[in-house]
Structure 1
Amino acid sequence: MSAPVRVGTDAPARGWGETNSWDQPSWTVAELERAKAGRTVSVVLPALNEEKTVGAVVDTIHPLLGGLVDELIVLDSGSTDATAERARAAGAQVLTREEAVPGIDPVPGKGEVLWRSLAATTGDLIVFVDSDLIKPDPAFVPKLLGPLLLGDGVHLVKGYYRRPLRVSGTEDANGGGRVTELVARPLLAALRPELTCVLQPLGGEYAGTRELLTAVPFAPSYGVEIGLLLDTYDRLGLGAIAQVNLGVRKHRNRPLADLGLMSRQIIGTMLRRCGIPDSGAPLTQFLVDG
């Protein structure tokens, strides 16, 4: 394995960074295939109106089918555009929320879709990849699987990356991940400082064992990623978590109003997971009209 990235300043974080964090992972697809040892891998792309990008994301993963990857599923959460058609054309199996778990009415939110994916897949290891990525690296899935297949005791692998921000035709190379830097990481520093070594706690590219994912609750909204991270830490400790550098992640940047609602959901999940009462009140936003 390649030399891990150094993260954190306290002794536990430094030790974790030396054993569970990879800046330049060197494992190959062939090496990972040999390490499967009978284990199966499912890749899940949650999707809602992502016709412009979902096909290209599937294209980067489809060549792994039949080898490293055993299932490639796009779980559509009610798209009204051509998301399903584009995903099928690229070679993915497409399921609706209702098909994944019949008989239970869908609840809006990303977390509920990811929860349903557990019933729709059979893999011992499950990789989640967002479907709004722009020019994703085909190495995303192999990189995320490395610590699970080659290591021991790891149950959750988070991707980290540089996140550009595109605004009005210009790009800030390091300006993305606004909710991560302004909400999630400061709150982790206050409530779970041991997890500040996880560089992208909200990232949508991560992998986990079915053993873990079927044992923890899924927050129904954008709190799903931070909820899974906190639950994994509380149940299994920092050693069960790893992170891998995925390079650069580009996606559709959302307007500030959307990020406010997302932040409210994330804060609510963090408070509840940390045993702090949350009012449950919705966010009131004051938007400029005209």
Structure 2
Amino acid sequence: MLDEVEHWLRARSYTAADRPLPALLAAKRALGPQGTVSVVLPALDEEATVGAIVTAIRTTLMTPHCPLVDELVVVDSGSTDRTAEVAAAAGARVVHRDALLPALPAVAGKGEVLWRSLLATSGEIVAFVDADLRDFDPVFVSGIVGPLLTDPRLAFVKAMYDRPLEGPAGQLPGQGGRVTELVARPLLNLHWPLLAGFVQPLGGEYAARRPLLERLPFPVGYGVELGLLVDTLHLVGLDAMAQVDVGVRHHRHQGGQALGRMAAAIYRTAQSRLARGPLVRSRLTQFDRSPQGGFTPRTHEVDTQERPPMLEVEEYARRRAA
């Protein structure tokens, strides 16, 4: 098993510089309709960062000289700030989550937005990019779509990067992926060791071919990245998966309790794929210090819902057929 992972790391780990833009554009032209690229930014209250990301993609990867990306869609999942206005002003097509598949009531969660985004896009290659990135480099897009444009054997590509923990005291290199190191990486190494080579298994930047995404179930919440990774392995195998080094990722960090809720959702997603009996409890209780003394319990529901493969949704199947 170790030899297989090491072989995969040598054969399927790239850097963005391995595929310069002229080579990607030539490959895209040769593919014709099969080389169309959609970029999706799932967004919730990201007015501070979404505009710069959209601008960077449009001015570098959607120009007459470099038409790598065919459509750029921001899917707003209920922002209360100016996320939608800022994204539209920067040149993105903005779609509200609830406008996609309106007959099915939406639930809160990142995975729900990614799942519904398949109805808002038409590219044969779909790239997902989180909307809270700072100092955004368009290589986060070109890097992950590049292998899919140039290698027909590949179906799924994740970004890998340094992820510093940033705070008032400065940056702590390599300390930003706390849930990855404490939850996701141990789970993958113990139960899906073929996936042990992924540097950023929970990263929000990845690209895949539409026919694969259509066949995958989507956990509605924070478990979506781990679920997609495991299910992709089972559907297409490790050799159809790759990762690309795109540099450094700067983004907003969450507090400890939010990370705890994320960890619970990820563990639940893993448990459902291990088929080891029913979930005992789908709630997570956390504690806050009360001003009056003692601790106040706060209980949160853990995401347990998953959306079916999009090919099973009648409205989507009709659109694809048309």
Q: Would you say same fold, with TM above 0.5?
A: yes
1:268 aligns with 2:268: yes
Which of residues 49, 52, 62 is equivalent to 1:65? 62
- TM-score, length-scaled by structure 1: 0.94
| Structure 1 runs (4+) greater than 6 angstroms displaced | none
Say whether the 8 Å CA contact 1:47–1:75 is kept in structure 2. yes
**In structure 2, distance between residues paired with 1:182 and 1:289:** 28
Question: In the aligned structure 1, how far is the partner of 2:152 from the partner of 2:210?
Answer: 15
* Aligned CA-pair RMSD: 1.3
Secondary structure at the counterpart of residue 194 of structure 1: helix
Shift of 1:24: 5.4
Hey, which of these two has a bigger chunk of strand by percent? 2
Rounded to whole Å, the distance in 2 between the matches of 1:24 and 1:56 is 21
Q: CA deviation at 1:33?
A: 1.6
User: Structure 1 residue 102: deviation in Å?
Assistant: 2.2
State the aligned residue count: 282
Shift in Å, 1:209: 0.4
Larger mean CA deviation between 167-176 and 266-275 belongs to 167-176
Match of 1:146 in 2: 146
Q: Find the counterpart in structure 2 of residue 46 from structure 1.
A: 42
Map of 1:4 onto structure 2: none
- Give 5+ residue unaligned stretches, structure 1: 1-8
Residues of 2 paired with 1:182 and 1:188: CA distance?
11
Aligned-partner Cα distance in 1 for 2:273–2:85: 38
Counterpart residue number, 1:288: 289
Separation of aligned partners in 1, 2:92 and 2:237: 35
Which whole-Å CA distance do the structure 2 matches of 1:145 and 1:96 have between them? 25
**Structure 2 alignment gaps of length 5 or more:** 292-322
Change in 2 beyond 3 A, CA 1:194/1:255: same
Answer whether contact 2:16 2:139 (CA < 8 A) is retained. Answer: no
Once the two structures are superposed, residues 123-151 of structure 1 have per-residue CA deviations (whole angstroms, 9 ceiling, x without a partner) of: 00000000000111121111001111111
Contact 1:147 1:154 in 2 (8 A): yes
Amino-acid identity (%): 49
Q: Counterpart in 1 of 2:52?
A: 56
Residues 25 and 244, structure 1, Cα contact 8 Å, conserved in 2: no
SS at match of 1:283: strand
Equivalent-residue separation in structure 2 for 1:287 and 1:160 (angstroms): 35
What is the rounded CA distance, in whole Å, between the counterparts of 1:117 and 1:23 in structure 2? 27
User: Contact (CA 8 Å) 2:16, 2:143: kept in 1 or not?
Assistant: no
Q: TM-score, normalised by structure 2?
A: 0.85
Q: CA deviation at 1:177?
A: 0.7
Matches within 5 A, 1:84-99: 84-99=84-99
Q: Where do residues 53-202 of structure 1 align in structure 2 (5 Å cutoff)? A: 53-63=49-59, 64-65=61-62, 67-202=67-202
SS at match of 2:19: coil
Superposition deviation, residue 204 in structure 1: 0.1
Q: Are residue 14 (structure 1) and residue 6 (structure 2) matched?
A: yes
SS of equivalent to 1:51: coil
Q: Which moved more, 1:94-103 or 1:245-254?
A: 94-103
Q: Is the 8 A contact 1:101 1:120 kept in 2?
A: no
Post-superposition Cα deviations, 1:157-184, rounded to whole Å, max 9, x if no partner, equal: 0111111112334321221010001110
Equivalences for residues 219-234 of structure 1 within 5 A = 219-234=219-234
